[in-house]
Amino acid sequence: MSRLLEIEDLRVTFGTRHGEVTALDSVSLHVEAGETLGVVGESGCGKSITALSVMGLIPSPPGRIAAGSIRLDGEDLVGASPARLRALRGAEVAMIFQEPMTSLNPVFTVGDQIAEAIMLHQDVGPDAAFRDAVSLLDRVGIPSPDQRAKDYPHQLSGGMRQRVMIAMAVSCRPKVLIADEPTTALDVTVQAQIFDLLNEIQRDFGAAIILITHDMGAISEMADRVAVMYAGRVIEESAADDVLDYPQHPYARGLIDCIPALGRADHALKEIPGVVPPLHLLGRGCAFADRCEFRTPRCDTEKPLLGGHGHHPVACHGVEEGRI
């Protein structure tokens, strides 16, 4: 299997009133053809910034890619011209955004918006592009697609709007599909339908999928591999089953302990104390130290590096020292 997308030592900074802060700190990830990589973590851990970096959508200023590389099928996107990035977006790498109501244009029909994406990257006219849009709406399971293509976003349910976003994202059969919290605010039944649709599209198109989520249940449903992020860094990475069954980092353990166990009355839900620290307050040591029950003085002064200390790669002094 070939690595379609490879991120290496990516560092992204933002200028703020507190000075320049690091939003991504030496992030390295990859995804292969036909594979689903889950990227999991709390809000503010850097998941969406990673996705926006791949898409070339980091707002500059105040943001900038300070170091590292993003290779799409061997081509480094860092430093690529805006014209080149526009040509790649949609055609080679596409993104399903978290909230379709703010991503879709309210004054154009959904059919016209999908057709516009098709015409941007393919040599087809408006009529052919609209027919393709209708076909895509049918493909993603929207009933009466020829009629729904003439509807505006506000006329569709949340689940249908998300299906429209998926249809638009796959309209040019991209090699890499980034799904940023694709089931947020959808009920459980619709969530399952969206996951089934993504799996089906992956089988048919052979796309690599990066699933960004805070939901470990979604990871168990969709992901082949998982990367756990915290405070702008990858702190654990392995096959999804390994992380779910043998979590090494205390933060990964905490995320899994937050999952309800159906039918187990004795299973007490746990919470991770505290919150993700503001980026400008990160010190020299482990960013999770203030919330960790295994904290030692070393955790306050030395940043742990991702390495093969335990069952799989993890960035934790406690695992490295055999205390956890």
pLDDT at 164: 92
Distance set, CA 196 to CA 18, 72, 202, 215, 249 (Å): 44, 26, 10, 16, 30
Contact between residue 68 and residue 27 where contact means Cβ atoms under 8 Å apart? yes
Q: Where in the sequence is the domain holding 147, given as residue range(s)? A: 101-173
The reply to whether 88 and 182 lie within a common domain is yes
pLDDT at 182: 84
For residues 106 and 241, state if they share a domain.
no
Enumerate long-range contacts of 80-85, CB under 8 Å, 24 or more apart.
80/56, 82/56, 85/55, 85/56
- pLDDT for the residue numbered 267: 61
168 in a structural domain: yes
Residue 229 lies in a domain: yes
**Are both 140 and 260 inside the same structural domain?**
no
**Is residue 295 one of the residues assigned to a domain?**
no
Does the residue 12 lie in any domain?
Answer: yes
Shared domain check, 191 and 85: yes
Q: To which residue do tokens 């569709």 refer? A: 156
The reply to whether 61 and 208 lie within a common domain is yes
112-115 contacts, C-beta under 8 A, 24 or more apart: 113/164, 113/168, 114/149, 114/164, 114/167, 114/168, 114/171
User: What pLDDT does residue 262 have?
Assistant: 59
201 and 140 co-located in one domain: no
pLDDT for position 153: 94
Give the total number of structural domains in the chain: 2
Residues 44 and 185 in one domain: yes
Same domain for 165 and 198:
no
- For residue 61, whether the previous peptide bond is cis, meaning omega lies within 30 degrees of 0, is yes
Residue 273 has what pLDDT?
A: 87
Rg of the chain's alpha carbons, rounded to an integer? 21
- Report the relative pairing of strands 233-239 and 75-76 from DSSP bridges: unpaired
Residues shown for the chain: 324
**pLDDT score of 265:** 58
- In whole angstroms, give the CA distance from residue 148 to residue 91: 24
Q: Are residues 154 and 180 in the same domain?
A: no
- Looking at 173, 195, 210, which one is the last position of a domain? 173
Question: In order along the chain (324 residues), what is the average pLDDT of each group of 10 residues?
Answer: 88 93 95 94 90 92 94 93 92 86 90 93 92 92 93 92 90 91 80 86 89 87 94 95 92 85 64 86 91 94 86 92 86
Residues 134 and 185 in one domain: no
Sign of CA dihedral 246, 249, 254, 256: negative
